[in-house]
Amino acid sequence: MIITLIGFMGCGKSSVGKALAGKLGWDFADSDSLVELGEQMKIPEIFSNYGEKRFRELEYMYIGKTIDRYDSGTAPGKHQERNIIFSLGGGAPTYSPTARLIKERTFPIYLKCPVEELIENLRIDGTENRPVLAGHDLETRVRQLVSEREPVYSGCAGMVIHPYSITPEIIRSIRFR
């Protein structure tokens, strides 16, 4: 089973995903890390050198490769059955080929937080590695992007839940739907 975690930056996709995967004994992957490792560049460098469109194409490629590996059973892992919690970058579903891919081949869970919580998390975490926020007032930009992305996230999601409410039991229940 492939569970994709989608949602706005700062909602906890990576930290929640790692914790869930650990509790379930599943694999974990983060699309931002895969892109950076594969391209040998940080995301802000990719944005700066090639633009957001090219970044989204690369992101789609790495997401697709990972989904293919888990769908085909060739993914490395300790278990016969290949299960993964896959955290996607906040903008991944805004690229329609990625949205289509995750809707068709994974179970997407939208980790939804109140805007105020996202802003606070981003203030704490910092925004230097978040190119879509660069050069903007944080609160204004987050509110704008959340407003634009909310319909995309909701349209992709098989489930919508607050990050602190998701449990291994919820993930296990998805398997039997």
- Which tens digit of pLDDT belongs to each residue from 39-74? 999 999 999 999 999 999 999 999 999 999 998 765
Known binding residue 15? Answer is: yes
Look up the domain containing 75 and give its range.
Answer: 2-172
In this prediction, residue 165 carries a pLDDT of 86
Known binding residue 7? Answer is: no
What is the dihedral angle through the alpha carbons of 23, 71, 38, 24, rounded to the nearest 10 degrees? Answer: 0
Q: For residue 144, is it within any domain?
A: yes
Known binding residue 13? Answer is: yes
Question: What type of residue sits at position 89?
Answer: G
Q: Give 133's Cβ-side CA count (13 Å radius).
A: 23
Closest C-alpha among 136, 66, 57 to residue 102: 66
The total of structural domains in the chain comes to 1
Question: Residue 153 sits in a domain of what CATH number?
Answer: 3.40.50.300
Q: For residue 177, is it within any domain?
A: no
Q: What does the alpha-carbon distance between residue 14 and residue 17 come to, in Å, rounded to a whole number? A: 5
Known binding residue 135? Answer is: no
Note the pLDDT tens digit of each residue in 113-157: 999 999 999 998 887 889 889 888 999 999 999 999 999 999 999
Q: For residue 126, is it within any domain?
A: yes
In this prediction, residue 168 carries a pLDDT of 81
Known binding residue 130? Answer is: yes
Q: For residue 155, is it within any domain?
A: yes
Q: What single DSSP character describes residue 80?
A: S
